[in-house]
């Protein structure tokens, strides 16, 4: 199920969603974004070779991405889950997820810069 189009099309993060999820606490927002960025790197590294647990890892990333408002990452992770279940286009889905994570991490880095 695709995530709702809450964020502007050109933004990898829905900051209004993030603010609602963190009750407007700017420090918590930054902490959550930093944690998500680190987790995304770890999960992508673990999925790199599409091991047997890649579907579960994609599912975990999907949930985390939805929590912080990284809906493009969540949608790409869901697509990878589906590709793994069906056995079709797994490499393509993984590449799309990598791209979405890269864009989200770049946006997070820009937000976290002092």
Domain locations along the chain: 15-112
Cα 57 from Cα 90, distance rounded (Å):
14
Q: Model confidence at 11, in pLDDT bands (50, 70, 90)?
A: confident
CATH fold, domain 15-112, is 1.20.120
Report the interhelical angle of 54-68 vs 90-112 (nearest 10°). 30
Is residue 17 predicted with pLDDT exceeding 80?
yes
For the residues 49-68, what does the mean pLDDT come to?
95
Amino acid 7: pLDDT: 43
Amino acid 86: pLDDT: 95
Cα 31 from Cα 45, distance rounded (Å):
22
Give this prediction's pTM. 0.89
Is residue 3 predicted with pLDDT exceeding 70?
no
Cα 45 from Cα 101, distance rounded (Å):
12
């Amino acid at each position: 199920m695709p995530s709702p189009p809450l964020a502007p099309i050109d933004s990898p993060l829905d900051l209004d969603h993030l603010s609602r999820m963190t009750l407007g606490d700017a420090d918590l927002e930054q902490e959550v974004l930093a944690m998500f960025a680190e987790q995304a790197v770890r999960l992508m590294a673990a999925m790199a070779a599409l091991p047997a647990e890649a579907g579960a890892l994609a599912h975990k990333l999907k949930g985390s991405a939805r929590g912080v408002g990284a809906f493009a990452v969540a949608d790409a992770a869901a697509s990878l889950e589906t590709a793994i279940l069906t056995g079709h286009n797994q490499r393509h889905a993984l590449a799309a997820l990598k791209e979405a994570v890269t864009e989200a991490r770049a946006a997070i880095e820009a937000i976290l810069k002092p």
